[in-house]
């Protein structure tokens, strides 16, 4: 059916190009929104715009087989069905099946560890040589027998070195083919993680941000890892809904999808209608998810305890700590009631932004393992043809998205940590809708201040300042000498900063940093995992929607705006001290103050250097 929809075209101005009058108008805009075109446009849409999976017919819940199961015997049978499905997974972690699962997981982890060891063998070899030289010096201080013993030990090390180098030549096929082999290994790892199931898909997604642990091709491949799991049966899903809500499905929903519209590692989604007429999306958790997560984490804990016997395997990461963090994070995602609260907190942050929308949560139909929210029709932010057919500019949508994230990161300290295209839609009226708040990040005021410092050091093309920022942000491993890595970082950034700002690519910069982090004593702080994931995903969307997109160029005017607008007495004082360079004695860095004044003058009056 043809629908006539009135919506305002999104118009995101570049603050660098605003006149003083326009800038003042923006400052008076209490919503903190992008300026919109004054005229609305009528757009004809020949078919209902949806996210591509909301058009199939839905049935009255009275016609669903589960609706007729009302006798005590039938309800008990339904309960037993759900219990049997939930408990069936446990047998995969006991007995012979448990050992086979352990073997499969160990094989994948072992092959990955071997490959990474071979890839970094030269670093390990140099360290072993230093230790051998020290041992020989100590042996010479003792007696000839100790020296003889060290010679015998050296022969053993020589044999080990030759065997490792032979294995390395076979596996890596020489330095010339190193990158090609890394790419093949990365694809192999991604495919095996998908085969291992939900837990390892989530682990792979988390590792996709750990450039300090994995070579660049692995980071790229795991960054593309998406949930790829089949749906579970409807009768199990309906039983789950009735158990969680304590009501028959026909008492909660008037109509319901006969098949899920989406399936992921943690659950699947159905379309439904409430008795009050609202169209809703119902997310139902997998019945065996708790058992899968518990079993797989138990296997990982066994492997980590074994690996802890070999200190060299743990020198680059706290694997036990990472597993604890993953366990905590994935259980947060499994709590759908917490996800609903996250959505409402996000909505509160953007309540005055009339072109940002968060689906309404229906709490009377929401529990820990079932989430009912407003169903949103719209177009994916990367569907360029559909957006242009509606006279919506993909570039302007992208700039709105960037601005929302700068607000989240620099002002709110609470952000959506998984902004992939499936979680973002442009609604028929032009609003940008956010979905899936199971994965969110939080940022302290102190970290916000350091991030602003780092951002403007990039803008100011100050490699020494950026190197110091990385140290201040705890990117350096404990005990490492900052003087060793500072020149390396400065040289790396010097190349990018010699480019014009619009030519600086955030993802390329991040990947170059990834190589440095992998080869030098860097680590990715835990509080930056979600931030890096979100920013790299955003730039990926930006490159698709706007071929001329540049993260720094787009973010620069908005970062300035939020820098000037941030509220809170303590936060403002901390930020002011940072910007003015005020030290412990209260002295002010006049040079930095003059730079800030020029920045504000340029923003307001649109002057150019």
List Cβ neighbours of 559 (8 Å cut-off, separation of 6 or more): 406, 410, 452, 455, 456
What the block records as the tokens of 361 is: 């949560």
Residues 6+ apart with CB under 8 A from 438: 266, 332, 333, 334, 336, 338, 339, 342, 418
Which two tokens mark 321?
A: 């700590």
Query: Using CA atoms, how far apart are residues 139 and 133, in angstroms rounded to an integer?
Result: 10
Alpha carbon of 130 to those of 133, 136, 153, 437: distances in Å?
A: 5, 10, 14, 50
Nearest to 218 by CA among 511, 497, 1, 555: 511
Cα→Cα distances 590→266, 564, 587, 594, Å: 54, 19, 9, 6
Closest CA to 438 of 522, 582, 286, 329: 329
Those residues with Cβ within 8 angstroms of residue 69's Cβ, 6 or more apart along the chain or in another chain = 75, 77, 78
Is the CB of residue 344 less than 8 Å from the CB of residue 361?
yes
Structure tokens at 487: 């020149």
Give Cα 17 distance to the centre of its chain. 32
Is 57 within 8 Å of 261 (Cβ atoms)?
A: no
What's 410's DSSP letter?
I
Q: CB-side exposure of 79: number of CA atoms within 13 Å?
A: 12
How far apart, in whole angstroms, are the C-alpha atoms of residue 507 and residue 514? 10
Structure tokens at 71: 């006798």
Phi-psi region at 582: left, alpha or beta (left = phi > 0; alpha = psi -120 to 50): beta
User: Two tokens at 555?
Assistant: 């973010």
- Active-site annotation holds for 570: no
**Token digits of residue 338:** 């917490």
Which residues, in sequence order, are CB contacts of 126 under 8 Å at separation 6+?
Answer: none
- Contact of 375 with 53, CB cutoff 8 Å: no
- What CA–CA distances, in Å, run from 579 to 461, 564, 589, 593? 16, 11, 9, 7
The answer to whether 382 and 401 have CB atoms below 8 angstroms apart is no
Closest CA to 578 of 567, 569, 588, 568: 588
Copy the structure tokens of residue 308. 């802890």
The CA-atom distances, in angstroms, between 4 and each of 45, 341, 387, 522 are 6, 34, 16, 55
From 418, 436, 453, 546, active-site residue: 418
Terminal Cα-to-Cα distance of the chain (whole angstroms)? 54
Which residues carry out catalysis? 418
């Amino acid at each position: 059916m043809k629908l006539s929809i009135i919506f305002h075209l999104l118009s995101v101005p570049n603050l660098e190009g605003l006149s003083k009058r326009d800038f003042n108008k923006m400052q008076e805009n209490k919503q903190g929104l992008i300026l919109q075109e004054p005229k609305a446009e009528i757009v004809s849409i020949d078919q209902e715009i949806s996210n591509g999976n909301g058009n199939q017919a839905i049935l009255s819940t009275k016609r669903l087989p589960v609706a007729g199961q009302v006798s005590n015997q039938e309800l008990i049978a339904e309960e037993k069905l759900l219990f049997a499905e939930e408990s069936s997974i446990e047998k995969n972690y006991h007995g012979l099946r448990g050992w086979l699962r352990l073997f499969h997981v160990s094989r994948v982890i072992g092959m990955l560890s071997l490959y990474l060891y071979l890839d970094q063998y030269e670093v390990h070899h140099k360290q072993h040589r230093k230790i051998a030289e020290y041992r020989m010096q100590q042996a010479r201080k003792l007696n000839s027998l100790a020296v003889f013993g060290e010679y015998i030990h050296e022969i053993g090390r020589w044999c080990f070195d030759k065997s490792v180098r032979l294995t390395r030549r076979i596996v890596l096929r020489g330095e010339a083919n190193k990158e090609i082999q890394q790419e093949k290994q990365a694809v192999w790892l991604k495919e095996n993680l998908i085969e291992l199931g939900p837990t390892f898909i989530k682990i792979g997604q988390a590792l996709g941000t750990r450039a300090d642990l994995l070579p660049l091709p692995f980071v790229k491949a795991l960054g593309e890892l998406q949930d790829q799991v089949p749906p579970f049966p409807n009768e199990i899903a309906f039983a789950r809904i009735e158990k969680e809500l304590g009501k028959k499905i026909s008492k909660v929903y008037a109509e319901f999808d006969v098949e899920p519209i989406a399936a992921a590692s943690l659950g699947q989604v159905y379309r439904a209608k409430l008795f009050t007429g609202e169209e809703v999306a119902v997310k139902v958790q997998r019945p065996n998810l708790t058992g899968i997560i518990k079993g797989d984490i138990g296997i990982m804990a066994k492997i980590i305890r074994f690996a802890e016997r070999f200190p060299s395997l743990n020198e680059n990461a706290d694997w036990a700590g990472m597993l604890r963090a993953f366990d905590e994070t994935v259980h947060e995602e499994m709590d759908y009631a917490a996800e609903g609260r996250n959505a409402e907190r996000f909505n509160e942050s953007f309540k005055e932004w009339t072109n940002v929308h968060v689906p309404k949560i229906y709490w009377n139909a929401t529990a820990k393992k079932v989430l009912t929210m407003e169903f949103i029709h719209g177009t994916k932010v990367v569907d360029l043809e559909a957006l242009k057919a509606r006279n919506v500019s993909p570039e302007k949508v992208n700039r709105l998205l960037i601005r929302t994230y700068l607000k989240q990161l620099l002002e709110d300290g609470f952000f959506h940590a998984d902004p992939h295209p499936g979680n973002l839609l442009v609604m028929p009226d032009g609003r940008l809708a956010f979905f899936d708040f199971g994965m969110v990040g939080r940022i302290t005021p102190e970290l916000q201040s350091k991030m602003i410092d780092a951002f403007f050091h990039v803008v100011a093309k100050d490699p020494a300042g950026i190197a110091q920022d990385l140290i201040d942000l705890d990117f350096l491993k404990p005990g490492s000498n900052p003087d060793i890595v500072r020149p390396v970082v400065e040289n790396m950034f010097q190349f990018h900063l010699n480019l014009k700002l619009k030519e600086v690519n955030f993802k390329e910069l991040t990947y170059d940093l990834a190589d440095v982090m992998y080869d030098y004593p860097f680590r990715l702080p835990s509080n930056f995992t979600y931030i890096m994931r979100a920013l790299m995903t955003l730039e990926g969307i930006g490159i698709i929607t706007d071929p001329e997109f540049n993260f720094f160029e787009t973010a620069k005017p908005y970062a300035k705006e939020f820098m000037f607008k941030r509220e809170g007495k303590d936060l403002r004082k901390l930020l002011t001290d940072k910007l003015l360079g005020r030290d412990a004695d209260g002295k002010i860095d006049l040079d930095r103050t003059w730079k800030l004044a020029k920045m504000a003058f340029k923003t307001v009056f649109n002057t150019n250097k």
